[in-house]
Chains A and B, each alone.
Chain A
Amino acid sequence: MEDHGIPVISLSGEKGGDILLSLSGRLTLENLEMVDRELRSQLAGLAPASLTVDLAGVDYLDSAGALVLVLLEKGDGSSRTIPQRFVNVTPQAERIIALLNRLDLNSQHLKSVEHFSIFEYAGEATFYIIRGFRHIMTFFGELLVAPFHAVRHPRLVRWDAVFVQMKRVGVDGLPIVGLISMLVGVVMAFMSALQLKQFGADIYVASLVGVAIVKELGPMMTAIIVAGRSGSAFAAEIGTMMINQEVDALVTMGLNPVRYLAFPKVLAAILVVPLLTMYSFIFGIGGGMLVGVLGLDLTVFTYVQQTLKAISTFEVVSSLFKSAVFAALIAGIGCQRGFQARGGAEAVGSMATSAVVSAIFLVIVADSAFAIVLHYISN
């Protein structure tokens, strides 16, 4: 009859009359579908007027197993209902069936799944962009006021937080900035050496690497690394604080969240990223020198001298200024995205992603603007 508790269904009685349905084995979540399918197919041919369900052989019944039986009577919205009565029911099974009988199992969904048309998407996206732009403007407005407040009340600036952030953004980023800058220097030197060697102009490898690293690649690579490491971290930290109502707590204590949370981060980034950029110059040029000395038979002295000849103090200073602007953009947008987080964990993740993407975009836009402005200034 029964094998390893697999349910066995047997039906007896006349077509169109009262049918005796005997069940045995286990009626559980695992065999819900099998029992349901079997019952419906067997009952379809008999078209019973009513059912007597004998549970004498059932050794275990859970709520899913009981659901199959209850839905025969109550219907699942797609099939006709069959009046039924249960016999040989254990007290526990009786309680489960009674519990299910009290439930509204065919309720309509109170909210339908939202399907947007392309126009609704476009409209939503437009409003999102407008709201986002307004939020950015408000945030950067407050951020610009913060330094004046800091000058008037220097004791109110959270210097301890500034130093912690300087360590996180700067000191902790030293290994990765050094490594990537050195590799970029090596690649630049290799690629340029292949071409310049043909003209016997090996020495200009030093000039090319020096100019590229100092004017563009140093600030840019450092900014991208800082955006990936710290911009996302700022967004995630402030985003989590938003979700946990910690920012609301600051507001109710009369503290300005932008001044309290964002300003120390932005200030720390502005102070430390130019130093990181200097560090990247050294490692980038060092990488080029490695190739020059080991691969092109140049001496360290010649390489350094040629590099110094190729880059001017103005270029170094303008690049450091540029990197400070990049830092402000990265830290600012990271914090702003954090303040925009609403809802739950997913919002924090998407804001951290958005912080990195927006920061890199802004850095490239700012770099283009610097390229044009510096071109006219230097000429």
Chain B
Amino acid sequence: MKPVSSNEPAICVEGLDAGYADKVIFDRLSFQVERGELFVILGGSGCGKSTLLRLLIGLKSPSAGRILINGVDITTADEMAMNGVRTGIGVLFQSGALFGSMTLAENVALPLKEYTNLSPDAIERVVAMKLAMVSLAGHENHYPSELSGGMVKRAGLARAMALDPSILFFDEPSAGLDPITAAELDQLIKDLNRGLGTTVVVVTHDLESIMTIADRVIMLDGKKKGIIAEGDPRELKMHSQDPLVQSFFNREPLKTVL
């Protein structure tokens, strides 16, 4: 919603320690996401991808380290500063997380009503635009239960984009979708990233998606409690020497010595 300085990185994670109870998931994790980048966090099941996403969107607190979103450290920010950060980010949850009791228009209008002083007419126009952006023009009065899985995700994306956030987070966008719908959603993510200049962070393990959309990836490993590979996914697939990275990108079982 608010313009941000184009010099600073969109996201900066420094020396992050996090975990659950006595289980350490990240040990001194550090990385940056540049502005306008389409950045993918990948890794096998249980490596901490979803935990990292929860940390980045402020739903979980780390035990140490800093997370800077648009230059604001969300680990120390007070409620007011956090609200400023929240209006600058949008999140598409795995299930879409639309409110079932509201129509699509009401779902998308919710952040606009909460954070702006726009009149109902102006909100209606912005909602129509956001729904058109995700190819749901005319579906204003539909309820989520009347839509397919792919449409629900796109509507969730329209809601996430309602305030024109500078960063969009996606949790497993292609999960549960057929290949055509998943490809359409990938294309949409790419179009929005290129068209609106939005920084996009995607958490996924879908190889097709990663290869199609990612500018840069980091690969997490549960055993090493951090990043094991970072860079262009096509480069990593071709040149990485790490057996886990090789197995992941070539979709092969990990070779273990018997």
* Residues of chain A whose beta carbon lies under 8 Å from any beta carbon of chain B: 26, 28-30, 32-33, 36, 59-60, 62-64, 67, 71, 76, 92, 95-96, 98-100, 103-105, 107-113, 343-347
Across-interface contacts of B146 in A (CB, < 8 A): 111
Can you spell out 16 A-B residue pairs with CB atoms less than 8 angstroms apart? Answer: A26-B3, A29-B1, A29-B112, A29-B126, A29-B163, A32-B118, A62-B1, A67-B126, A76-B125, A92-B197, A99-B196, A103-B137, A104-B132, A104-B137, A107-B138, A347-B100
Is B137's CB under 8 angstroms from A95's CB? Answer: no
- Give the nearest-CB partner of A97 in chain B: B195
Counting from the closest, the 6 A-B pairs by CB-CB distance are A344-B100, A99-B195, A107-B137, A60-B3, A103-B132, A346-B101
**Residue ID in chain B nearest A344 by CB atoms:** B100
Select from chain A the residue with minimum beta-carbon distance to B6. Answer: A92
Asked whether any CB of chain A lies closer than 8 Å to the CB of B128, the reply is yes
A-B interface pairs (CB < 8 A), number: 95
In the complex, what distance in Å separates the CA atom of A328 from the CA atom of B141? Answer: 42
In the complex, the answer to whether B100 meets A345 with C-beta atoms within 8 Å is yes
Q: A110 to B139, Cβ gap below 8 A?
A: yes
Instruction: Report how far A71 CA is from B1 CA in the complex, Å.
Output: 20
- Assess A29 versus B125: contact at CB under 8 Å? Given A63-B164, A96-B195, A109-B138: no
Contact of A105 among B100, B101, B132, B144 (CB under 8 A): B132
Chain B residues lying within 8 Å of A71, measured Cβ to Cβ, are: 125
Q: Which of A62, A92, A104 contacts B164 (CB 8 A)?
A: A62
State whether A29 and B116 are in contact (beta carbons under 8 Å apart), knowing that A63-B196, A345-B100 are contacts in the complex: yes
Nearest CB in chain B: distance from A141 CB, A: 29
Contacts known (A95-B194, A111-B141); A64 close to B100, Cβ less than 8 A: no
Residues of A within 8 A of B130 (CB): 63
User: Which residues on the B side are within 8 Å of A59 (C-beta)?
Assistant: 3
Cβ of B132: which chain A residues have Cβ within 8 Å of it?
103-105, 107
Task: Please give the distance in Å from A68's CB to the nearest CB on chain B.
Answer: 9
Question: CB distance B118 to A33 under 8 Å?
Answer: yes
Known A-B contacts: A99-B191, A108-B138, A346-B101. Give 14 more (CB < 8 A).
A28-B3, A28-B164, A29-B163, A33-B118, A63-B133, A67-B129, A71-B125, A98-B195, A105-B129, A111-B141, A111-B146, A113-B141, A346-B100, A347-B100
Give CA–CA (A64, B196) in the complex, Å.
11
The interface bits of chain B over 213-236 (1 if a CB of A lies within 8 angstroms of the residue's CB, else 0) are: 000000000000000000000000
> B3 contacts which chain A residues (CB < 8 A)?
26, 28, 59-60
Do B141 and A99 touch (CB < 8 A)? no
Residue-wise, chain B 50-85 has the 8 Å CB interface mask toward A (1 for contact) of: 000000000000000000000000000000000000
Would you give the shortest CB distance from A50 to chain B, in whole angstroms? 23
Residue B145 is within 8 A (CB to CB) of chain A in the complex: yes
CA distance A326 to B159 in the complex (A): 47
With A28-B1, A112-B141 given, is the CB distance from A63 to B129 under 8 Å?
yes
The reply to whether B122 and A36 contact each other, CB–CB distance below 8 Å, is yes
Q: Which chain B residues (119-168) contact chain A, with CB distance < 8 Å? A: 119, 122, 125-126, 128-130, 132-133, 137-142, 144-146, 161, 163-164
* From A32, A96, A109, contact of B196 by CB (8 A): A96
| CB proximity of A74 to chain B, nearest CB, Å | 11
Q: Name the CB-closest residue of B to A94.
A: B195
Of listed B99, B140, B191, B195, residue having the most chain A CB within 10 A: B195
- Report how far A36 CA is from B124 CA in the complex, Å: 14
Distance to closest chain B CB from A67 (angstroms): 5
Chain B residue nearest in CB terms to A93: B197
CB nearest neighbor in B for A67 = B129
Residues from chain A with a CB closer than 8 A to the CB of B126 are 29, 32, 64, 67
Contacts of B2 in A (CB 8 A): 28
Q: A95-B197, A344-B101, A345-B101 are in contact. Are A29 and B137 (CB under 8 A)?
A: no
**Residue numbers in B under 8 Å from A30 (CB-CB):** 1, 116
Collect the chain A residues with CB atoms within 8 Å of residue B138's CB. Answer: 107-110
Within the complex, the shortest CB–CB distance from A95 to chain B, in Å, comes to 5
Q: How far is the CB of B198 from chain A (nearest CB, A)?
A: 10
Min CB–CB distance B200 → chain A (angstroms): 15
A283 to B140, CA, bound (A): 57
- With both beta carbons as reference points, the residue of chain B lying nearest to A104 in the complex is identified as B137
| Chain B residues whose CB sits within 8 angstroms of the CB of A92 once the complex forms | 197
Q: Which residue in chain A gives the minimum CB-CB distance to B192?
A: A99
C-alpha spacing A105/B145, complex, angstroms: 24
Residues of chain A lying within 8 A (CB to CB) of residue B163: 29
Residues of chain B from 1 to 38 with CB closer than 8 A to chain A in the complex: 1-3
Q: Which residue of B lies closest to A36 (CB)?
A: B122
The residues in B between 169 and 206 inclusive whose CB is less than 8 angstroms from any CB of A are 191, 194-197
Collect the chain B residues with CB atoms within 8 Å of residue A111's CB. Answer: 139, 141-142, 146
User: Least Cβ distance of B70 to chain A in Å?
Assistant: 14
A103 to B134, CA, bound (A): 9
**Residues of A close to B99: CB separation below 8 A:** 344
Inter-subunit contact A109/B140 (CB<8 Å) = yes
Q: Which residue of A lies closest to B144 (CB)?
A: A344
- Looking at A59, A98, A105, A346, the one whose CB has the most chain B CB atoms below 10 A away is A105
CA A104 to CA B100, docked complex, whole Å: 26
| A345 vs chain B, min Cβ distance (A) | 6
Closest beta carbon of chain A to B137's beta carbon, Å = 4
Q: How far is the CA of A107 from the CA of B69 in the complex (A)?
A: 36
Chain B hits for A103, CB < 8 A:
129, 132-133, 137
Docked complex Cα distance between A231 and B109 (Å)? 36
Task: Determine how close the nearest CB of chain A comes to the CB of B191; give it in whole angstroms.
Answer: 7
Give every chain B residue within 8 A of A112 (Cβ-Cβ): 141
